[in-house]
Structure 1
């Protein structure tokens, strides 16, 4: 066989791996096909598809762009690049590619619908920038909770001025039964939690006393029933059992409001023993695309989303455990000179959204890599950092390791960079398709890390991202 024929054979193996949803195997096959024949657009486009499935949108953009360079009329490549631009909030670039698709296939109703929805997003962003005059008024303005009446037929536990264990336990069951909280209680929980978060430092510093323990959880992404599995296996939050949730508790899964309200309620119940870090999905841009905004509006109302948005901006960005472990959602920085003091000094209240650059963005978006040094982000936002970067940061700041989340790990967690970088991910069988395990980390007074792995549990028949912008999200789930 010729090299070109061998390349096609590897492409076919890659296609078979896609059919089995084995995205890494597919990428390996397309890598080999491209090595054998780097002139075929479909090899790059198919690899872009696999990168999209792994949320490696930066790599997908590069592959789709190469496919377009080789074949300027290759519709799938424009489509996949548009999807990837959309995922990293580059809406104007996505719109250009959706328009390119529609020019080539003007009668494709699905492509036209996606183009029109993307146009709406671009117009909305332009409008908001045009009318921006400093900080908008709070969504809590004009909201008189005291005058709001909880109807007599409300069948849940009543909430007074203080959070109670009885209310939380009733809330857990209500959500399991598919019921909602009264909107007065929703407003009350979010507003009070925001006040607590706002008054915490950007990096809370905690110690673990004798007779107590702390559990660190990674992304839960609206997978409410898997969150309850953690509590059922590992124990519910209490005065002696602290929890830290390391961001991305909303979006993707279709019980994001339930998770957020439960975690906020635990924060109010145990304000010095329950912690939340902000993740890259606790941001407006991500919530607009990945479902949380739509879920808030469907289950409650637009004000609920706006209140949540304000509360996300108040969340701490990292937690320091025992002066040994820095826990933050994404990872490390583009500058070796950054220290824990820089994190302590970061005024997160001046910048509500992380944007595309800067310290906050890097804390929420970066990822580890196996190669030394730093590299471009496979996501298209942020960067990647190598084991030498992690070693220097830990040594300079007297840390044993960093603990981060932000990425699916098939075994639920992974220890990298000679033990100095630990990833923990707590959403098993992510978006009902990934087949991964979930994990959480227990830490006692000796500050030793105990990794625990668990499997997904059954949930009601509601698909992931059920509340997302359906047309645009269908392209991401393709």
Structure 2
């Protein structure tokens, strides 16, 4: 006769100790991935640590930091708050939450977190410094808002006097011809100048900005593009100030021309430290080929993003604060989306927080402003696809996440075939999702000199509009690191 031996269950305390040990093992693995800048795997293991032991503020704080690295500010904010709720004295939780708030342009909320840190640690010099710096930003924004209310007619473009700007005798760079039009020779000279780390004369730089602003002001928020049968059309994603990789795209795919049209889908600047070179190259080609070169606004074509991620600092270093303000005016007029052959909608971010949005609704968007925190314009710049059906709050904290069913309904309503968007780093430079109806393209390889991703662009043929992908790796660039012009205060 068999006998069954019953084992005594482990005491609850021992079980808890085992869970804590398992959680620590997961955390240690996550930390190793974090050190390697593999943030996706780091998040995966921090999540497992939290599941094993949900009572550790450190796990939430670490995962929040990893989310910040991926620019998932909404998730970072949620985790930092969870860490603080577990441990009111967990200083890094306040720092993480402040960083998330700042990245979302919520400086008053960030200031409150820094103030709490100074109360918890009144002798912490770093906390005091960050409180003072954040307070300066809040005061500055309040002052600028008051000035804007007092003078709504303020227009930097109208204050620029090109005739008063003289060309020094020792200037050896490209010049705009007497007819005041950009030529192909000018563009080739400009790119050669930039490859040698030269600087375009400020008179020509200002002229490009004034001309491009006038052009964009004449454009609708949704631009319709016709690709002729058997003609090639190229769509590129984020460039993010990586000028030498932009040059590589032109090496691989040919220079823009009437026979080789391009659409660059937002986020031309920030992060990479050659953003000035990128934007003037792109604006120059837009002026040279206005009907065969297109640019969509990205979420980084905004004052808040540019202050934090380096572009404004770079413009001020290479030109002036006045030019930095003029860029804000120009970006406000960038189109928000493009429709190719009435079949493909291209936008930087994604689809919408509400059903029933039509192409005509996009055409009617008043875009001459800084990006709002909600609505159609916000979603076009910020939203991301998700694998599951329905919608969810954005992991970025702005816009929404939309599923395959949302994409399908939008395409059916507007009689479209698929959408192309950018906005997210992809290991291969692109991703096809939602049953082939939602394509992501990202054109900045080894993003921020750290991500080791490939870049990609899409070639379309007007006859069938079937996407064909070209991928490439990063090329060498001068020893100027990403974020070199960003204010260190924003990089907590």
Q: Same fold (TM over 0.5)?
A: yes
Residue 472 (str. 1) matches residue 483 (str. 2) = no
- Could you report, residue by residue, the CA deviation over 1:158-214 in whole angstroms, capped at 9, with x for unpaired residues? 213111111111110111111111110011001001111111111111111145311
CA distance in 2, matches of 1:321, 1:115: 48
Residue 428 (str. 1) matches residue 445 (str. 2) = yes
After superposition, where does 1:229-244 map in structure 2 within 5 Å? 229-244=248-263
1:127 Cα shift? 1.1
CA distance in 1, matches of 2:280, 2:489: 28
Equivalent residues of 1:211, 1:240 under 8 A apart: no
- Structure 1 residue aligned with 2:427: 410
Query: Which one of 218, 221, 226 corresponds to residue 199 of structure 1?
Result: 218
Equivalent residues of 1:254, 1:464 under 8 A apart: yes
CA distance in 2, matches of 1:286, 1:159: 31
- Structure 1 residue aligned with 2:6: none
Structure 2 SS opposite 1:418: coil
CA distance in 2, matches of 1:257, 1:121: 24
- Structure 2 residue aligned with 1:341: 360
- Structure 2 residue aligned with 1:281: 300
Residue 5 (str. 1) matches residue 39 (str. 2) = no
Residue 459 (str. 1) matches residue 477 (str. 2) = yes
- Could you report, residue by residue, the CA deviation over 1:73-128 in whole angstroms, capped at 9, with x for unpaired residues? 00111111111111111111111112222333344433333222211111111112
1:146 Cα shift? 2.7
Consecutive unaligned residues of structure 2, counting only runs of 5 or more, are: 1-14
CA distance in 2, matches of 1:54, 1:375: 18
Query: Which one of 406, 409, 414 corresponds to residue 397 of structure 1?
Result: 414
Equivalent residues of 1:174, 1:180 under 8 A apart: yes
Equivalent residues of 1:114, 1:472 under 8 A apart: no
After superposition, where does 1:154-233 map in structure 2 within 5 Å? 154-160=171-177, 161-210=180-229, 212-233=231-252
Residue 138 (str. 1) matches residue 143 (str. 2) = no
CA distance in 1, matches of 2:192, 2:406: 45
- Structure 2 residue aligned with 1:67: 83
Consecutive unaligned residues of structure 1, counting only runs of 5 or more, are: none
Equivalent residues of 2:174, 2:200 under 8 A apart: no
CA distance in 2, matches of 1:214, 1:110: 51
Query: Which one of 327, 340, 351 corresponds to residue 332 of structure 1?
Result: 351
Equivalent residues of 2:356, 2:413 under 8 A apart: no
Equivalent residues of 1:186, 1:304 under 8 A apart: no
Shift of the 165–316 alpha-carbon distance from structure 1 to 2, 3 Å rule, reads same
After superposition, where does 1:95-114 map in structure 2 within 5 Å? 95-114=111-130
1:227 Cα shift? 0.6
Question: TM-score by structure 2 length?
Answer: 0.94
User: What is the number of equivalent residue pairs in this alignment?
Assistant: 472
1:225 Cα shift? 0.5
CA distance in 2, matches of 1:471, 1:347: 33
CA distance in 1, matches of 2:376, 2:133: 32
Structure 1, 32-41 or 370-379: larger mean CA deviation: 32-41
Between Structure 1 and Structure 2, whose CA radius of gyration is higher? 2
1:279 Cα shift? 0.5
- Could you report, residue by residue, the CA deviation over 1:416-463 in whole angstroms, capped at 9, with x for unpaired residues? 111111010111111011111111101112211111111011111111
CA distance in 1, matches of 2:153, 2:130: 30
CA distance in 2, matches of 1:427, 1:323: 28
